[in-house]
Amino acid sequence: MDYTYGPGRNHLFVPGPVNIPEQVLRAMNRNNEDYRSPAIPALTKVLLEDVKKIFKTTSGTPFIIPTTGTGAWESALTNTLSPGDRIVSFIIGQFSLLWVDQQKRLGFNVDVVESEWGRGADLDALESKLAADSAHTIKAICLVHNETATGVTNNLATVRKLLDHYQHPALFLVDGVSSICALDFRMDEWGVDVALTGSQKALSLPTGMGIVCASPKAIQASETAKSLRVFFDWKDYLKFYKMGTYWPYTPSIQLLYGLKAALELIFEEGLDNVIARHNRLGTATRQVLAVEAWGLKNCTQKDEWFSDTGMEAIQLKLGLGLNKVAGKVFRIGHLGNVNDLQLLGCLAGVEMVLKDVGYPVKLGSGVAAACGYLQNNIPLIPSRI
């Protein structure tokens, strides 16, 4: 069953890649251009400035790398750390687990703090470690802002508070792959040293760009970090930034114009409005779990960790979860350029599928709960569509 024709326009409700707006598709529908012509550096200059806004940084240095989120992880780690460096890293789900795996394979001394899947990162454990580390052997804290496998959002501000409280110089590296442009993220305010995202997430582009942003402290660290890197080496970018040509190797012209269009949409809606919309859709989705009819539980164990970009309901028969929660949860993603009616269509579909597989859901009950929330929590009727 490789392919079954289905009529109509489908939307993606996986946590990524996400739906691409028509405006972005249009912007990318173009021939190649010579990236050494004057037009591409001029475009890049604007993009690098604009990208800083989605990280909420003025002092950071962004790198738009032709790679995926996995490559962006590698870029963050190898440019700032040296082999054998001790890093504290948290496993709370599949994506944080994969990052820890990469950290180990890259030769770091990973001090792993694991929590039950469905819970946030154990920041009490972090505090203990920081308190005990007067020798400053911890070189970095690595944290996934939003773990899509379990729908858990970690509290970055608390990490910064702890680092400041203990006057600890560790670098603070954050995977913002499914949070940046979707959840409240404040690179400068929270003292994040490296933050990163991928184009196919809340930016609503195709896969192909890992966007990494480095604080001045991270840039400084990159000058002495001994991890081997060539393709991912920031130095090459910085050299070309100085020359004003920007690209050490060929970028995707299409993705650059697509990024321009995607940022224009985000700035037109307003970054904070985009974040508020994700919260509204997330809250609406969680209403569904509150009703008796579905009778399912959110995989996320406490309200403080609720993710506004993807929720999970514990469930017995559908085998779509990842790793420890495989076969126990399914996930509804509403990341990126998505609106109320798309989400409601998805929820109606979930209800039918639950019924298809024998789960005693009351059809319409979940949609009703979500509608009830949305209809009362809409800033303006026009924006509902």
Tokens representing residue 18 in the block? 């996400």
8 Å CB contact between 120 and 88: no
8 Å CB contact between 89 and 96: yes
Shortest distance, position 79 Cβ to a second copy, whole Å: 13
Residue type, 87: I
| Cα–Cα distance for residue pair 221/215, rounded to 1 Å | 10
Tokens representing residue 126 in the block? 């972090």
Residue 346 contacts a second copy per CB under 8 A: yes
Up-side HSE of residue 249: CA atoms within 13 Å toward CB? 10
Q: Which of 150, 193, 232, 244 forms a contact with a second copy (CB under 8 A)?
A: 232
What backbone phi and psi angles, to 5 degrees, belong to 324?
Answer: -65, -20
Residue type, 25: L
14 vs 157 by CB, closer to a second copy: 14
249 vs 323 by CB, closer to a second copy: 249
Q: Which of 50, 260, 276, 345 forms a contact with a second copy (CB under 8 A)?
A: 345
Residues 6+ apart with CB under 8 A from 225: 78, 79, 80, 81, 82
Shortest distance, position 159 Cβ to a second copy, whole Å: 25
Shortest distance, position 51 Cβ to a second copy, whole Å: 18
Tokens representing residue 36 in the block? 């050494």
Shortest distance, position 217 Cβ to a second copy, whole Å: 24
119 vs 280 by CB, closer to a second copy: 280
31 vs 167 by CB, closer to a second copy: 31
Is 30 assigned to a binding site? no
Span near a second copy by CB under 8 A; candidates 7-15, 84-92, 142-150, 178-186: 7-15
State which of positions 35-54 bind a second copy (CB under 8 A). 35-36, 38-39, 41-42
The interface mask with a second copy, positions 52-91, x = CB under 8 A, is --------------xxxxxx--x-----------------
CB 157: neighbour CB atoms within 10 A? 13
8 Å CB contact between 17 and 200: yes
Q: Which of 12, 48, 141, 263 forms a contact with a second copy (CB under 8 A)?
A: 12
Q: Which of 303, 356, 358, 360 forms a contact with a second copy (CB under 8 A)?
A: 356
Residue 340 contacts a second copy per CB under 8 A: yes
Q: Which of 135, 167, 224, 230 forms a contact with a second copy (CB under 8 A)?
A: 230
Tokens representing residue 83 in the block? 């082999």
Helices 271-290 and 365-376 pack at an angle, to 10 degrees, of: 140
Buried b (16+ CB within 10 A) or exposed e, 250-259: ebbbbbbbbb
Residue 344 contacts a second copy per CB under 8 A: yes
| Cα–Cα distance for residue pair 200/205, rounded to 1 Å | 5
The interface mask with a second copy, positions 300-339, x = CB under 8 A, is -------------------------------------xxx
Residue 213's nearest CA partner among 324, 96, 341, 65 is: 65
Shortest distance, position 284 Cβ to a second copy, whole Å: 11
Residue 382 contacts a second copy per CB under 8 A: yes
Shortest distance, position 344 Cβ to a second copy, whole Å: 4
DSSP 8-state code for residue 245: -
Query: What is the helix (H) or strand (E) element at residue 174, kind and residue range?
Result: strand 171-175
| Cα–Cα distance for residue pair 176/194, rounded to 1 Å | 10
Shortest distance, position 375 Cβ to a second copy, whole Å: 4
53 vs 384 by CB, closer to a second copy: 384
CA 21 to chain centre: 18
Residue 198 contacts a second copy per CB under 8 A: yes
State which of positions 113-142 bind a second copy (CB under 8 A). none
Residue 290 contacts a second copy per CB under 8 A: no
User: How far apart are the two ends of the chain, measured CA to CA in Å?
Assistant: 35
Shortest distance, position 172 Cβ to a second copy, whole Å: 21
Q: Which of 304, 341, 377, 379 forms a contact with a second copy (CB under 8 A)?
A: 341
Query: Residues annotated in the binding site for substrate, as ranges?
Result: 331
